[in-house]
A and B are shown apart, each in its own frame.
Chain A
Amino acid sequence: MALFNRTPVAPLEYTRKTWMRGWVGATMFFLYAPLLILMIFSFNDSKRNVVWKGFTLKYYEKAMNNDSLVEAMVNSLTIAGLATVFSLVLGALAAVMLWRFRFPFKGVVEGTMSLPIIVPEICLGVAFLIFFAKIEWPTDLPWPLNLSAITIAHITFCFPFVAMVVRSRLESFNKEEEEAAKDLGASEWQTFRDILLPHMKPGLIAGALLSFSLSLDDFVITFFTSGPDTITFPVKVYSMVRFSVTPEVNAASTILIILTIVLTAVALKLQGVKAIAESH
């Protein structure tokens, strides 16, 4: 009887089905294998970076000493940080406005707001290029003001995402909670701070993560709005890759990936993954 000891696979036990495991495996492979290879080859002791030649950390050193690469990295992080803060405030306000009030042309406002999500990035990029040229936006400002054009462009396409996430979070808000707070004596502002804001928090964190990563890895729009001394990391990587894919690029990318993972982990830790995952 020992031969038949295995319990049969029940109809809904998908995790024990071969085809399901194969499918999940394939998905994981194509998602993560490229990233893993990128990270592994950042330690490759070879200029051509095609064949594994041996372990080295020298490309990390090289990347760190590449002033223009570091500058691009700092620019990217600054833009992402600023864009996140502004998108968060703008997006949250827009979400609360659309959720709370009824006003004429509300549908139009909602539609217009999600335009940056729908319009192809290349069109947005060109539009920004022409727009900033037309209004003669100053380009020779000292750092970090020289990043203003890119930052404004990033805020424009980031804040609708925040608004969308926060709005869907607000849908699950029980308006009686707000009334209860007022009933207990809270003012409009106290109600917002003590009741509505805590409810929005998971949406805000998700929106912030979204904005930060959207801004950090944006290439197309940035490419059109950046000047010669406002290079961001993705634009810099692109220009480096045009000559050859050196392990230096891999090293810099790996640093960026780890940085993003750490940031996300911290944000999730702050809130608890569950609260963000479930929209209640």
Chain B
Amino acid sequence: MSDPQPIIQIRNVSKRFGKVTAVDNVNLDIMAGEFFVLLGPSGCGKTTLLRMIAGFELPTEGQIIIDGVDVSDVPPNKRPVNMVFQSYAVFPHMSVADNVAYGLKIRGVGRGEREERVREALELVKLGGFEDRMPDQMSGGQRQRVALARSLVMRPKVLLLDEPLSALDAKLRAQMQFELSDLQDQVGITFVTVTHDQDEALSMASRIAVINKGEVAQLAGPSDLYEFPANRFVADFVGSVNIFEGKLTLDEPDKAAVDCPGIGKVYLNHGVTGPHGADVWVALRPEKIYLHVPGEGKAVRAAAQDAPDGHNFARGVIKGMSYLGDITLYEIKLDSGEMIRVSRPNLSRHDQEDFTWDDRVSMHWRADSPVVLLS
């Protein structure tokens, strides 16, 4: 096996609409067989990027290379990629079979092979037997499967999906996340998906590019993105996070410390290679904070023994509480006056009764939990 080849190379691509820069000098390599996700808030340029790969928008600058061929000026009908549209765009006047067969017909594939491939594609998306249905007799989820089959039947090098799950209800969405991953494993085609939903991205992607204001904010695998965000934007956009500003007071290869007015002294068991005394930000995820009745915490912390005394510890008063079933979310006002969010798994049926409004609580976290962000 040779090294994986990038199937899509995006080289210094920018797209400007008048004065607005939608995509700003993006460089990305998407590998063959990947499930690649472009994640970002609405208006960040992720859809424009996808449409440039499909050929519906031409880059103002830069090149898009698909499978070694520069397709920057190739029209969409001549590109070896297919797209599943956000509205699915199933042709309403054609039956399911005709929809799926359309691309093959245009390509001039003979009737026999066409019928065979249409049947296969429909089996693949679990729509076998639906050949003669009209789109208006189908549910949204089924129409999406038609759109998927219509694209997959073309055997594209890359399948592009524009917000594929946004129009489905929560249960169906969760199911389709798994099905899309399975489908991608089965057909082995590179998938490039656009989404604004971080859960969707984390659950399906092999790699995620977080896009902010037309630029790539971070490119990483799902767990790296969540556990090691590169900047405040990514930390805040992917998942829920508490961010405190502070000064870097200690930075050695195996330890670091940040003095935050908001949450006190934060100790890390690894270096951060930032300039000493610089303004930095500490990101702390709500689920990585332990909640105690004051006094009890000290014993737990002593057992952990991973931070010097007086570090990674805070006190506050519970100001808000939301019980979400699997976890309970607490809004706590720290003694410094700042707010922090802490989540706590409900391991037993009565855990949510341990703390309530206006309770005084103490918190601690492990030395490998906080992330220091330089930007």
Contact = CB atoms under 8 A, between A and B. Distances in A.
Interface of A: 174, 176-177, 179-187, 190, 194-195, 198-199
B102 A183 contact: no
12 contacts: A176-B86, A176-B87, A177-B90, A177-B92, A182-B77, A183-B81, A183-B82, A183-B151, A184-B154, A185-B154, A198-B93, A199-B92
Contact of A183 (B76, B86, B90): B76
B106 interface: yes
A199 B90 CA distance: 13
A198 B92 CA distance: 9
Contacts of B87: 174, 176
A177 B103 contact: no
Nearest to B86: A176
A248 B244 CA distance: 96
B103 A182 contact: no
A195 B102 CA distance: 11
B89 interface: yes
Select the residue from B78, B81, B93, B147 with max chain A CB neighbours within 10 A: B93
Given A190-B106, A194-B102, A183 B77 contact: yes
A234 B75 CA distance: 54
Given A176-B85, A184-B150, A185-B107, A195 B91 contact: yes
Which A-B residue pairs are the 5 nearest by beta carbons? A184-B103, A176-B89, A180-B89, A176-B85, A185-B106
A186 B56 contact: no
B211 interface: no
Interface string B62-105: 00000000000001111001110111011111000000001100
A184 B81 CA distance: 9
Interface of A is mostly: helix
Interface in B23-68: 54, 56
A179 B89 contact: yes
B298 to A, nearest CB: 60
Contacts of A181: 91, 102
Contact of B77 (A177, A187, A195, A199): A187
A194 to B, nearest CB: 7
A187 B78 CA distance: 9
Contact of B76 (A174, A182, A190, A195): A182
A87 to B, nearest CB: 24
B93 A199 contact: yes
A180 B77 CA distance: 9
A186 B77 contact: yes
Contacts of A190: 106
Given A184-B82, A185-B106, A194-B102, A179 B91 contact: no
Interface of B is mostly: mixed
A4 B83 CA distance: 64
Given A195-B91, A198-B93, A199-B93, A180 B106 contact: no
Nearest to B82: A183
A179 B85 contact: yes
Contact of B75 (A174, A180, A182, A195): A182
Contacts of A180: 83, 85, 89, 91, 147, 150
A174 B107 contact: no
B51 to A, nearest CB: 9
Contacts of A177: 89-92
Contacts of A186: 77, 102, 106
Contacts of A179: 54, 56, 76, 83, 85, 89
Contacts of B103: 184-185
Given A179-B76, A195-B91, A184 B102 contact: yes
Nearest to A179: B56
Nearest to A275: B93
Contact of A174 (B56, B89, B150): B89
Given A179-B89, A182-B75, A186-B77, 13 more contacts: A174-B87, A177-B91, A179-B54, A179-B56, A180-B91, A181-B91, A183-B77, A183-B82, A183-B83, A184-B77, A184-B82, A184-B154, A194-B91
Contacts of B54: 179, 183
Contacts of A195: 91
Interface string B196-240: 000000000000000000000000000000000000000000000
Given A180-B83, A190-B106, A194-B102, A185 B89 contact: no
Contacts of A174: 87, 89
A190 B54 CA distance: 19
Nearest to B98: A194
B322 to A, nearest CB: 38
A190 to B, nearest CB: 6
Contacts of B102: 181, 184, 186, 194
A190 B108 CA distance: 13
Contacts of B83: 179-180, 183
A10 B249 CA distance: 78
Contacts of B75: 182
Select the residue from A183, A195, A198, A199 with max chain B CB neighbours within 10 A: A183
Select the residue from A182, A185, A190, A198 with max chain B CB neighbours within 10 A: A185
Nearest to A185: B106
A184 B93 CA distance: 17
A215 B189 CA distance: 57
Nearest to B162: A176
Contacts of B86: 176
B138 to A, nearest CB: 16
A262 to B, nearest CB: 27
B248 to A, nearest CB: 50
Contacts of B56: 179, 182
